[in-house]
Structure 1
Amino acid sequence: MKNEPLKKAIRNSALMAVAVAVLVSFQGESIATSIKMALFSFVVIAPALWLSYRYTQKVIARIAEREREKEAEQSKDEQPPK
């Protein structure tokens, strides 16, 4: 699960880079320009997505930890005294 944000970032940024290349080529630019734009897009988007996914994963882990703590407190409070 540690590499999941990296894999998602690479996959999604590659898809966006291909979309950029297609759009640039439809605008009448050369193949070399399309490839350069796709590469630049990948280089810019991949780290941004990776940081975003990694941060989101940490936030979700914190929320899950808080929920577990609340459930533990509730179950402790619900137990009848002996």
Structure 2
Amino acid sequence: MDWRPTRTVRTMVTFDPEGLTPAQCDGDACVACHKKWPRPRARIGRLPNGAALFACPECAAALTPEPVGNVYPLPFRVAFS
């Protein structure tokens, strides 16, 4: 599970490993653009076996879904002040 600062679980997308390179499956390359350096840090999904998949910040912004409707997360400092 991926715990956010608000202690809620973010829905993790499960990816099909077919078509991914071994470096992408190991988390050493971005799942979208194959960039290996700097190593991708944004966790965007997982494989069916539970291994995490990562993307570079540019690709992660394009791959993550928008919030549903008018529900937006509060910044940490507002939620816990």
- TM-score over 0.5 for the pair: no
Please identify which structure carries the higher helix content.
1
Please identify which structure carries the higher strand content.
2
Instruction: Answer 1 or 2: higher relative contact order, Cα 8 Å, separation at least 6.
Output: 1
